[in-house]
Each structure stands twice: as C-alpha cells, then as structure tokens.
Amino acid sequence: MKNLKKHWYYLIISIVFFAGCKTEPDAQAVRKEVLNIHDKVMVDGEKVIKNKMKLDTLLISEKAKSSPDTTKISQLIEKLNKADENMMDWMHFFKDDFKGKNEQETLNYYKTQMIKIREVEDEYIKVTRTSDSLLKSYQVVPIQSSLDNPRNH
C-alpha cells in the first residue's frame, strides 16, 4: 500500500512536470527565428547584387563577347534577379505584426513564413554558389559572405 501511494505520487508529479513542458515552440519563438533568417538573407542579398553587377560587367567585356558562355552569363543574371525579386516579394507580403488571431493561427502563420524564407535563403545559396563559380572561371574574385558557410539549422 505504501509503495502504491509512492507510485501515484511520482505519477502525479511527472504529469504536472510534463504538462508544463511545451513540445512545440510558441509563435514568438518561431517569429524570432524567421526574422533572424531574414536578417541573414538581407546581408547575403548584398552579395547577390554584387555578383550580378560583376556578371553584368563581364557580359559587356571583350572577354565574354567572344565566349560561348554569354548565354550562360545572361541566364545566371536572370536567376540572380529572380532570387532578389523573390526576397522582395517575401518582405512585401510578410506581416511582422500578426495580431487578431489566436495562438495556433499565429504559430501556423509564422511556420509558413519560416518555410518561405528558407526557400528564399536556399535560392540565394544556390545562385550565389553558381555565380561565384562562374566568376572564378573568369578570374573575377567573388566577395565572401555568410553564404560561404552553410546554415546550421
């Protein structure tokens, strides 16, 4: 009987302890992570623009005019522009002050935004690596950025 009371006591303590623990992050924590990724991508966006400018210069140079890579350079410039446009679109539609909804709706909104900003980040990483590689092949030194170190997420 004494052992049974002891087990019930531990069971009740465990239930109370685990009920207080949230297994899912709250909306504000997800929002903060979304904004942190946004801040990183904004810095990386500078490299996207600088690589685009270098490729523009390369495209009009004598070196590229005789090269069969002119089309490749033009397509890469378009991809850099598209990545930048996607970032601008995300920022335009992002609602930082998502009020008037319950906690679950707010959490779902920020989770959706997390997916979208990660897609933008992944696009930046891919297009920057490709443009870095092309610039190096023409002996144009690309700028270092946080894109050179993959995210630790």
Q: Indicate the pLDDT class of residue 153, thresholds 50, 70 and 90.
A: very low
Q: Quick one: how far is CA 47 from the chain centroid?
A: 15
State residue 60's pLDDT score.
85
Please say if the pLDDT value at position 73 is more than 70: yes
Percent of the chain surpassing pLDDT 70: 74
Helix extents (H) in the chain: 2-20, 27-60, 62-65, 70-93, 103-137
Residues 118-145, mean pLDDT to the nearest whole number: 88
Report the alpha-carbon distance of residue 82 to residue 128 in Å, rounded. Answer: 12
Report the alpha-carbon distance of residue 80 to residue 17 in Å, rounded. Answer: 50
Please say if the pLDDT value at position 85 is more than 80: yes
Q: What is the pTM of this model?
A: 0.74
Report the alpha-carbon distance of residue 40 to residue 121 in Å, rounded. Answer: 9
